Amino acid sequence: MVNDLNLYDWKELDIDVNSLWLINERDKSGKHANVYHGNFIPQIPYQLISRYTKKDEIVLDTFLGSGTTLYECEKLDRKFIGFDINPKMIDYVNLQMNDSDKNKFDIFECDVRNKDKFSNF
């Protein structure tokens, strides 16, 4: 089983089982501030994380940006590892996660051109 849900739970948890997701508006609740270019609406990672991971599993995001996927992981009780090339966004996301459980996530500034410093990761 991919996650802990049975087919009857999907409707109760607002998991869209259609092949086409029609989302009327962006979720602006919680830590979502839409402050970074190119971020996607929170409902997309919410749907994917809900479908394909279990509680306390780790989600990897190699394009952290403003933290959309991280915030959904926190909401869904998943652990998180994220990387981004932009140090300002790392600082921004760390500030947003100030009141969160630090054992549930790790974020790193990472540029593939400097990959040697992550060889022991």
- What is the pLDDT at residue 15? 66
The reply to whether 2 falls in a domain is no
CB atoms within 10 A of CB 57: 15
More confident residue, 116 or 111: 111
The reply to whether 113 falls in a domain is yes
More confident residue, 73 or 17: 73
H or E stretch including 49? Answer: helix 43-52
Domain carrying residue 16 = 7-118
| pTM for this prediction | 0.78
Separation between Cα atoms, residue 105 and residue 98, nearest integer Å: 11
The reply to whether 21 falls in a domain is yes
Separation between Cα atoms, residue 115 and residue 51, nearest integer Å: 32
pLDDT over 80 (residue 13): no
The reply to whether 80 falls in a domain is yes
- What is the pLDDT at residue 74? 97
Angle at 75 between CA 3 and CA 43, to 5 degrees: 80
Separation between Cα atoms, residue 90 and residue 86, nearest integer Å: 7
pLDDT digits (tens, 9 = 90+) for 91-111: 999 999 999 999 999 999 988
Q: What is the CATH number for 55?
A: 3.40.50.150
Count of domains forming the chain: 1
Separation between Cα atoms, residue 113 and residue 80, nearest integer Å: 23
Separation between Cα atoms, residue 106 and residue 97, nearest integer Å: 11
The reply to whether 1 falls in a domain is no
- What is the pLDDT at residue 81? 96
- What is the pLDDT at residue 91? 96
